[in-house]
Structure 1
Amino acid sequence: MYCLFPPLLYRRTAADVESQLLQSVASDRFQCKVPPSPHRYTLEEVKIKDVVLRLVAVHQMEMREAHLVLTGQRIWPAAKVLGLYLVENPDIVQSAGSVLELGAGPGLPGLVAAKLAPQPERVVLTDNKDLVLDLLEKNIVKNFNDDPMAVKPRCSHLEWGKGVADFRDQHGGFDVILASDVIYHRPDIPLLLQTARDLLNDKPTSVLLLSYNDRAKIFQQTVKETAAECGLEWTDIPFRELLPEFSQIVHPDEVRHLHLMVFMKGAS
């Protein structure tokens, strides 16, 4: 029997289990021993108020498969909260000429944005793993294939900090950038924020929306300090007050360490 933690852990809540698992990831103690398995995918309907998505993903994760957080095949609560924020504030997407999702995984926030956007083809979902890009392609087809002539969002390979200028030359800059639950190691933070800054358009309304669970409670200060170093101004969004319906799509324990933040380019 494959066991990562002592039996006592199994008497804790699911949120406690997830927290300890991902604290291990964040502190580099976790070593993946089970390769990711696409056969674990299932197709399920995810409803964010009036937006309904059909998503292929790892919807049920066993303890031994916790490494899948590294491959972006699971839908995490932070993605649902960010999706809800977009649904409650559709003007963010509807007034944007272009939308990008970084580290998209199954693509929930980006696909919500595409459903809200007047031009879904101006929504680009990215990841740095071929396995995840294949998953994104599946989910785009599942949600934008009713009309063969309909325009669809796109997906593309992007690794933070590498080839960002070439990516911008190909796709242009973006008015809105989305990222959810993409921070697991401290060195990821400057790569994420600098990449986002380099791809944001120079408009006063251009924003990065970041939703993440700081399960190990070690990243929030680094995020803020790094944002300042990258020339980004930030604001915490009090989603618990602004989005009281969040408890209908995620259990409150799952987001007790969640931060929802908006970043904008500072004045030059």
Structure 2
Amino acid sequence: MDAKARTVALIRRQFQQLVPPTAFRLELDDGADADFVADADGPGSPHRPALPLICLPDVQERLFAEVFADLNVEENDPPARYAFAVLKKINAAIEAHAADDVEVSEDILGALVGLMSAVAGGAGVSTDASPVRYSFDRPDGGEDTIRISEVRTLISGFGSTGLRTWEAALALGEHLLAGHGPQVAGRRVLELGAGSGFVGLLCSKLGAASVALTDGSPEVVGRLAGNIAANGVANVSAGVLRWGAGDEDHAVPGGVDVVLGADLTYDAVLGALLAHTLAAALAASPRAEIVIAATVRSAETVGAFEAALAAHGLSHTHTVARPAPRFFYYAASPPIRIYTVAKCI
């Protein structure tokens, strides 16, 4: 994929993930997005400063066709106010190079005017769920997409708000795609505290034999059915699993190869219950591999989780998630730890 195609893919993927406009990137990080435009004086003349690739007419044409041509703001896909803010940022970035004879394409200007009218008419202020699409490059080539219905009304590291996929889940997804975590292809996966189901759905698309999405909230489990259906995956199920000791809702299934979870340690009490359930998972499936992604919001809660692991006879190691994700965009702060948990030997 050349730099122009990668620039369009960068913008498209962020737009589909509803990355906040304040954090939205319009240029690649590797320096490949600059296009040097020669002065009109002919060969050997000095070169103007590098222009962002979004200034080029063919890139704008492709960007409009792939990202902005078929918006469905009436169905909140995406929210009109969000689309307007992103397109306004793109328009301003291109206009900043007007002195270099750069112009915004008529298609992009038309889309901006249309969104401006929609926002002025009251569109875009909605608490309804929006489809969010997380696209990634498969290890075997080609692109795949995870579709999640989200309502962004909860605070995230970006300062955005919702029933949403949290940063730690995105970091765990990056970890798996980079080949640093357990292999999931052909294996049975259990996700704890699944929330939107992002991690488990990613595992399904990476070839897991089966995926069990679990959460302690029956309401969350009920919503997971919609996300499973939206992704057309037949090997994914959803059910209630409460952490700690108790009735049948606390029983960890056996026959599991991989146990995953993300953003589960934000409360010391929950961390202790999670440690109990992880120990139960290893008792039911002694050969299972366990990986937990934890956002470090406070040293106390993370320390309590690590102490609870030790109290249940579990050891752990951790790495810090990469600050520059390749596919799933999230805030770099606070840091996210990727824990590998095992039984103490």
- Asked if TM exceeds 0.5, the reply is yes
How far, CA to CA, are the matches of 1:155 and 1:62 in structure 2?
Answer: 23
Question: Counterpart of 1:61 in structure 2: which amino acid?
Answer: T
1:239 equivalent in alignment to 2:321: yes
In the alignment, is the contact (CA less than 8 A) between 1:48 and 1:83 conserved in 2? no
How far 1:239 sits from its partner (Å)?
2.8
User: How far off its partner does 1:191 sit?
Assistant: 0.6
Task: Give the 3-state SS of the residue equivalent to 1:104 in structure 2.
Answer: coil
In structure 2, how many angstroms separate the alpha carbons of the residues matched to 1:48 and 1:215?
A: 27
Partner of 1:220: 302
Shift in Å, 1:164: 5.9
Distance 1:250 1:219 in 2: 25
Equivalences for residues 132-151 of structure 1 within 5 A: 132-144=220-232, 151=234
Aligned runs of 1:55-134 on 2, under 5 Å?
55-58=148-151, 60-61=152-153, 73-89=163-179, 92-94=183-185, 96=187, 98-119=188-209, 122-134=210-222
Give the aligned length: 209
Match of 2:147 among 51, 54, 61: 54
Question: What's the TM-score, normalizing by structure 2?
Answer: 0.54
| Partner Cα separation in structure 1 for residue 166 and residue 249 of structure 2 | 30
Instruction: Tell me which amino acid in the other structure corresponds to 1:52.
Output: T
Give me the TM-score of the superposition, normalised by structure 1: 0.69
Specify whether residues 118 and 133 from structure 1 end up closer, same or farther in structure 2 by C-alpha distance, changes over 3 A only.
closer
Structure 1 residue 166 displacement after superposition: 6.7
Match of 2:329 in 1: 250
For the structure 1 residues 167 and 48, does the alpha-carbon distance in structure 2 shift closer, same or farther, using more than 3 Å as the test?
A: farther
Partner of 1:199: 281
Q: Flag as ranges the 4+ runs of structure 1 deviating above 4 A.
A: none
**CA gap 1:83/1:226 in 2 versus in 1, 3 angstroms:** same
Decide whether the 8 Å contact of 1:87 with 1:112 is kept in 2.
Answer: no
What is the 5 A alignment of 1:160-179? 160-161=243-244, 162-163=246-247, 167-168=251-252, 171-179=253-261
Q: CA deviation at 1:179?
A: 0.9
| % identity of equivalent residues | 27
Given residue 258 of structure 1, which amino acid in structure 2 is its aligned partner? I
Structure 1 partner of 2:27 = none
- The CA RMSD over aligned residues, in Å, is 2.8
In 2: Cα distance, 1:114 partner to 1:248 partner: 17
Deviation at 1:49, TM superposition (A): 3.5
Q: Does 1:264 align with 2:342?
A: yes
Structure 2 alignment gaps of length 5 or more: 1-21, 24-125, 139-143, 156-160
Q: Which has the larger radius of gyration?
A: 2
Q: Do the aligned partners of residues 49 and 164 (structure 1) sit closer, same or farther apart at CA in structure 2, a change above 3 Å counting?
A: farther
Native 8 Å contact 1:48 1:84 kept in 2: no
The one-letter code of the counterpart of 1:232 is L
Say which SS state the counterpart of residue 294 (structure 2) adopts: strand
In 2, are the aligned partners of 1:57 and 1:135 still within 8 Å (CA)? Answer: no
SS at match of 2:203: helix
SS at match of 2:268: coil
Aligned-partner Cα distance in 1 for 2:127–2:174: 29
